[in-house]
Structure 1
C-alpha cells in the first residue's frame, strides 16, 4: 500500500510517498481503507520538528491527522463496526505513528472513529474532521457560547474559522468574521453577520464581544481587552507570544484566555456528524490533491490566504 511519511524534519520536500505492507488491526482496533484526509497545522508542525516530544526522532513518521473511508476489518473485541461501514476519524495526536491518515490504509482504535455523515462526499467529510471538531469543542465546551452573544472569529476563512462561523451562527450567536476582504461574500453566506478586513481593522476599532475564537495567535492581549465583563476568549494557536498572553490572562483579571488540545473521540464526532446532516455545518474545500502531491498540499497550506481546507484524495 502507499503511505505518506516524514523522512526527516524540515520543509515539505521531506515528505515521501512509499510502498509498505498493509497493517493489521489488533484488539480493539479497526483497519480503514482511506478515501481522503486533510492537511492540518498539526501535520505541518510535526513535519517541521515542532512536536518532537510526541513524534520522537526516529524516522519514518506517518503524516495525516484525520481521514474518511470504509472499514475493511476489525480486531478482537470490536463489535460496533462491520466491513464496508463508512467512517471518519483521526489518529491520536499524542502518539507516534509510522502510518497515519495520509495513506491507503490506517489502523486506529475503535473509539477514534464514528459513522461518517450522510450527504457529503469523502473529500468533503475529511475537510471537517479536525476543523469541525476543534470549532465545536471551542464554542460549546471551552467558552460555552450562549444564544444572542456576540462572537468574533479571527482567521475566519481557514478550516477552523469557517467551521466556527457556521457553528456559532447555528448556536444563535451574532457572528463577526475577521478575514481577508475577498472572502467577505463567502463568509456572509456561511452565517457571518459582519465581515471585517483583517488588514485594515485594528482591535481598538471593534467590539465589545462576549466570545472571541482566535486561530491566529497574535495580539491576544489587545483582543482580550475587547471582551465584555465575563467575556471568554479561546485560541488554538500556541505560539510563544500566545502562550505568554494565556499565562498573563490567568493571573490578571476575569477575562481569561483559554486553550485546549482538540482530541475528539467518537462522541464529539457523532455530534459533529449531526451538525453536518442537519445542514448547520457545510464543508468548505479550497483544493484537492492526490496523495502523491502531499508535499505540494503542505506548501499551499503554509502559504495561507485561502478559504477552507486543503484535502488529500487517496
Structure 2
C-alpha cells in the first residue's frame, strides 16, 4: 500500500484526505516514480471545487496534482529510456502526482539535472510551461515593454524572467514586499491598487506592447485601457474577460507544451539562468495547510508537497 491525496466530492479544502491505496503497477510505456516533491497550483483548487467541471469533468474518488519530481522505481514495456534509480522531472495527466508513488507516461518525463533541487523540480511543470507558453503567445520582440500581473507568483515570477530573456523591458505588478526580488531580476516593480494605471504609464513612457495577466480581477480591462492590442494580451485566469474581449488564454488546456519545454526550463535553472522561488514546502499529510496558503493568493513563488 502507498499514500495518496484523494477527495470524494466537490468542495473546499476540508474534502481533501490522505488515503492508503494499492501500489501502482506500470503498464506499457509507463514509469513508476517515487515522488520527492509535487507542486500545487490554483487550477487544482478550481477543479476540486467543481468550478472547471465543464472543461475538465471529474470522477470520484479523485486524485490531485500534475507536477512531480522523483526517482524511478520500476518501468513498464517500452519505457526503457529510463531505469530504476534515475532522477526525473515530469507531470501526470491523471490528477495523481500528490502521492508517494505515481504512474507517469514515459513521454511526460525528462531527466532531472543534478543541481536542481527536488522542491524546484517538483514545482516546475505547470508554472514553468504556462509561463513559457504565455511569453511566446504575446510575441515579444527585443526592446518592447510588457506588463505582468501577479509578477511574484508561481507563474508570474517565471514569466517575468522569461520575458527578460527575450530582451523585453518588464514591468511587474506585485505587492511592495516583493519589489526587491523583482528589481534583482531586472524587472521594474509597480504596486497594484488605486492609481496603478498612472504608475504603469510613468514607468513606461514609450507605451506598453504586451500584457500577461496571471491574476485576473480586471487586468484584461487595464491592458486594453493601456492601449495594448487584443492579440498581445494573454490572461491565464480571467476566462470571462477573454471571451468578452477576444484576448488570448494561451497555452490553454489543449496547447500546453510538454516534456521538451520542461527539459529546456530545467536546463536554464541548472545553468543559473532561471530561478524558481519556493514559498514553502509541506509534508504530504499537510495538504490542507498547503492549499490554505495557496488560496490566500499572495504567495511569492511555488508551494510544494514533500511525500
TM-score, normalised with respect to structure 1: 0.89
Measured in 2, the distance between the counterparts of 1:281 and 1:38 equals: 17
Measured in 2, the distance between the counterparts of 1:143 and 1:29 equals: 35
- How many equivalent residue pairs? 298
Measured in 2, the distance between the counterparts of 1:118 and 1:172 equals: 29
What SS class does the counterpart of residue 232 from structure 2 fall into?
strand
Measured in 1, the distance between the counterparts of 2:113 and 2:148 equals: 25
Measured in 2, the distance between the counterparts of 1:234 and 1:43 equals: 20
Measured in 1, the distance between the counterparts of 2:172 and 2:142 equals: 17
Measured in 1, the distance between the counterparts of 2:34 and 2:91 equals: 13
Of the three residues 259, 271, 274, the one matched with 2:250 is 259
Of the three residues 158, 161, 182, the one matched with 2:156 is 161
Q: How does 1:278-293 map to 2 (within 5 A)?
A: 278-293=271-286
Measured in 2, the distance between the counterparts of 1:225 and 1:195 equals: 20
Shift of 1:258: 4.3
- State which drifts further: 28-37 or 263-272: 263-272
Shift of 1:216: 1.5
Q: How does 1:218-257 map to 2 (within 5 A)?
A: 218-219=217-218, 220-228=220-228, 232-240=232-240, 242-245=241-244, 248-249=245-246, 256-257=247-248
What SS class does the counterpart of residue 62 from structure 1 fall into?
coil
Q: Structure 1 171/278 Cα, relative in aligned 2: closer, same or farther at 3 Å?
A: farther
What SS class does the counterpart of residue 52 from structure 1 fall into?
coil
Measured in 2, the distance between the counterparts of 1:55 and 1:257 equals: 19
Q: Deviations over 1:53-89 (max 9, x none)?
A: 4654532100111111011111111232111111111
Residue 38 (1) aligns with residue 39 (2): yes
Residue 217 (1) aligns with residue 216 (2): yes
Q: Deviations over 1:228-275 (max 9, x none)?
A: 5687111110443x2333xx33xxxxxx44433263321111111122
Contact 1:224 1:257 in 2 (8 A): no
What SS class does the counterpart of residue 88 from structure 2 fall into?
strand
Contact 1:204 1:226 in 2 (8 A): no
Shift of 1:3: 0.4
Of the three residues 120, 130, 139, the one matched with 1:124 is 120
Contact 2:190 2:199 in 1 (8 A): no
Measured in 2, the distance between the counterparts of 1:184 and 1:66 equals: 27
What SS class does the counterpart of residue 237 from structure 1 fall into?
coil
1:64 aligned partner: 65
Q: Which runs of 5+ in 2 are unaligned?
A: 202-206
Residue 178 (1) aligns with residue 173 (2): yes
Measured in 2, the distance between the counterparts of 1:236 and 1:62 equals: 23
Shift of 1:223: 1.3
Q: Deviations over 1:114-167 (max 9, x none)?
A: 112331210122222211111111112x12222211111101111001111111
Q: Which runs of 5+ in 1 are unaligned?
A: 250-255
Contact 1:154 1:177 in 2 (8 A): yes
TM-score, normalised with respect to structure 2: 0.91
Shift of 1:51: 2.8
Contact 2:133 2:250 in 1 (8 A): no
2:204 aligned partner: none
Shift of 1:197: 0.6
What SS class does the counterpart of residue 209 from structure 1 fall into?
coil
Shift of 1:298: 0.8
Measured in 1, the distance between the counterparts of 2:239 and 2:259 equals: 29
